[in-house]
Amino acid sequence: MEHETDAQPHETPHTRWQRRMAARPLAPVQTTWGMEVAPLYTPEDVQYIDDARDLGYPGEFPFTRGVYPSMYRGRLWTFREYAGFGTAEDSNARYRALLDQGMTGLSVAFDLPTQIGFDSDDPRVGEEVGRVGVAIDSLADMEILFDGIPLNRVSTNRISVKFILSSTIFPLSLWERVRVRGLHETLATLIPAFSLRERASIISGPGMQGGKR
């Protein structure tokens, strides 16, 4: 075999690998953000890494080893199903059923009018209300959506492509009301940057331009 017969005197394993690679070069590979990916990495590539500064400990900045000190040995990952349809009452019933079946988190799906900032009674939204997610038009809807759900134990996130009122302002207002009422000492929630993540997949229906009044 080649690796058994082509060894050269005084070659190191690294220089021998370089010579063999030069004989059969690979096409360049880049990450999605344009950084070149080398075909091989060795301790020489990480010799300037400062362990405390660049890696740190689990649960500490810069969080390269996870956000919790014990990670999944001490806290299992969240089981979360993307769900939402019809009215806030409909989706609330669905969320309660999911939690009864063992879900440990909720991922709220909004309908398209809510995602792009339209009220459900806007004549331009047609039959899109409640079709691919739950219709949320007000803080009262958000309260109904999470009625009876223990927000101190169940983390939630909300998928909204580009409208911040339903995905961020309403939830934060709800959490503040819950705190004022003294129902929970702590609240668990996630406000992910889905507006950035889904910037290339924004869905808008014909003529549906504008925003909630």
Please count the other Cβ atoms lying within 10 Å of the Cβ belonging to residue 91: 26
* pLDDT value, residue 203: 41
By CB neighbour count within 10 A (0-12 exposed, 13-18 middle, 19+ buried), where does 107 fall?
Answer: buried
Decide: helix, strand or coil at residue 159. strand
Instruction: State the CB neighbour count (10 A cutoff) for residue 65.
Output: 14
Please write the tens of the pLDDT for every residue from 41-50.
999 899 999 9
Give the pLDDT of residue 79: 79
* 192 neighbors 157 (Cβ within 8 angstroms): yes
Give the pLDDT confidence of 112-122 residue by residue, as tens digits.
Answer: 888 888 899 99
Buried b (16+ CB within 10 A) or exposed e, 8-32: eeeeeeeeeeeeeeeeeeeeeeeee
Q: Which of 8-22, 58-72, 133-147, 157-171 has the lowest mean pLDDT?
A: 157-171
